[in-house]
Structure 1
Amino acid sequence: MPTHHPWPPGLPVHAATVVPGRRAALLAALTSLTGGLSACGTPLPAISWLRLPADGADPIDPIEASAQRPGSASPVWQLMAPVSLPGHLHRDALLVPQGAAGLQPLGGARWAEPLRDAVPRLLRTDLSRTLGTPVWTAPLPPGVTPTRQLRVDFGALDVTPDGRGVSLQARWSVADPSGATAPRVADAAFVTNAGGADAQALAVAHRQALQQLARRIAVWLAAGTV
């Protein structure tokens, strides 16, 4: 009996001829590739650059310092570096909560100046205005010898779960560089409400939170200068 050949001998198979099983696999691969290309073509959110305003949203009034001992000089304050922030705040995206423990960027909102740079700079400015005296940072100019060294560590500076405020947690200490007195330590935790859930409102709330922290620290420092 003659052998049946699926294709006439000597006749080349056309490149477009695909057996059914391979055809299905090829279609699946093409579908996946098309979907991937479609996803790549999705436009990214427009980037919106944010900053923490230099002057903040609230007026700053100098506090009344405690009475000094007769003959004692006013303290010379130094804000020590670094002012530490949680690692996720080193990113340039404005992060908002997602689920129980997640974070996600708020659209295309980005910090124009890293928070690790902006927070220490603005905190120092707010402390100086509230205390009514310069607050120095290293490198110190000639002739300036600090008599009090302040350290500040942030535990949180995060958007609240409802997306309409900023939760701040911080711990600070003040020490005599000479070691004549023991360091004093304090902390604070509070929420600053935002005017909305948009990126601009949350940026303003971040700035207000820093101002509130500076005032709490300044009041605490002034109360301990007697």
Structure 2
Amino acid sequence: MNRSTLLFFTMIALGLFAGCATSPASKFYTLNPVQVAEPSKAVDRVVIAFDPVSVPELVDRPQIVSRLGANRVSIDEFARWAEPLKRQIPRVLAADLAQLIPGAAVSTYPQRTDESAYRVSVDVQSFDSSMDGTVMLVVIWSVRPPKQGEKVGGRSVVSGSATGPGYDAVANAYSRALASVASDIAAATHSAMRQ
């Protein structure tokens, strides 16, 4: 076998091996509302609308970001959020809030509401998870009653641990942390209703 024939077969074999190599499949994760153990008493029809939610640019991406240290993060190319966090977070908070305040019509589309709506603003300042499964949320929020009522605001700092390994458990821990934030917002909304 001459040298050019050997080179030809080597190139074909390398091409076949390269075609067989595949990268791992991406996995997609979502945040979900948490079942509330004891909702408050039902209210007369009240409309609650979420303004657009802000999240840190570091996590405002499809890939799941984990903190490795004070100045280092891991961005997992194959573990991704199924939809942007700017849409998932208000959707989950709204669903949690609807459970916590039965009878409330909670919307994540503020343009759909009228002047009789309670407006909720949410600024997620920290949305961190570590490789050991610990999650940390820091959220500044406010509830503005309709028609010039006095705004009620607060800051929720919530940490939690994943109940198992992997990103499924981390997403679940984030969902539980968001339920805690929703509970704080529900208490502020009840306070605003009493004004």
TM superposition score category, shorter chain reference: 0.7 to 0.9
Residue-pair matches, total = 173
In structure 2, how many angstroms separate the alpha carbons of the residues matched to 1:74 and 1:139? 19
Map residues 79-158 of structure 1 onto 2, 5 A cutoff.
79-80=50-51, 82-106=52-76, 108-132=78-102, 133-136=104-107, 137-140=109-112, 144-158=114-128
1:61 aligns with 2:61: no
1:48 aligns with 2:27: yes
Other structure's SS at 1:139 match: helix
More displaced stretch, 103-112 vs 125-134: 103-112
In structure 2, how many angstroms separate the alpha carbons of the residues matched to 1:224 and 1:177? 10
> How far apart are 1:96 and its partner, in Å?
0.7
Name structure 1 gaps, 5 residues minimum.
1-41, 67-72
> How far apart are 1:210 and its partner, in Å?
1.3
Task: Label 1:49 to 1:98 Cα distance change in 2 as closer, same or farther (>3 A).
Answer: same
Q: Which residue of 2 aligns with 1:188?
A: 156
Is the 2:116–2:147 Cα contact (8 Å) retained in structure 1?
A: no
Match of 2:49 among 46, 60, 78: 78
In structure 2, how many angstroms separate the alpha carbons of the residues matched to 1:64 and 1:192? 28
> How far apart are 1:85 and its partner, in Å?
0.8
In structure 2, how many angstroms separate the alpha carbons of the residues matched to 1:76 and 1:92? 31
In structure 2, how many angstroms separate the alpha carbons of the residues matched to 1:83 and 1:74? 24
| Structure 1 residue identity aligned to 2:144 | A
> How far apart are 1:175 and its partner, in Å?
1.9
Q: Which has the higher strand share?
A: 2
> How far apart are 1:201 and its partner, in Å?
0.8
| Structure 2 residue identity aligned to 1:114 | P
Q: Which residue of 2 aligns with 1:6?
A: none
| Structure 1 residue identity aligned to 2:28 | W
In structure 1, how many angstroms separate the alpha carbons of the residues matched to 2:115 and 2:92? 22
Task: Give TM-score scaled by structure 2 length.
Answer: 0.76
Identity of aligned residues (%): 26
> How far apart are 1:46 and its partner, in Å?
3.4
Other structure's SS at 1:61 match: coil
> How far apart are 1:43 and its partner, in Å?
6.0
Q: Which residue of 2 aligns with 1:221?
A: 189
Which of structures 1 and 2 has the bigger CA Rg?
1
Name structure 2 gaps, 5 residues minimum.
1-20
CA RMSD between the two structures: 2.6
Other structure's SS at 2:31 match: coil
Residue-by-residue CA offset, 1:86-128 (whole Å, 9 max, x unaligned): 1122111111112321211246211121211111111111111
| Structure 1 residue identity aligned to 2:96 | D
In structure 1, how many angstroms separate the alpha carbons of the residues matched to 2:38 and 2:105? 15
In structure 1, how many angstroms separate the alpha carbons of the residues matched to 2:82 and 2:163? 21
> How far apart are 1:169 and its partner, in Å?
0.6
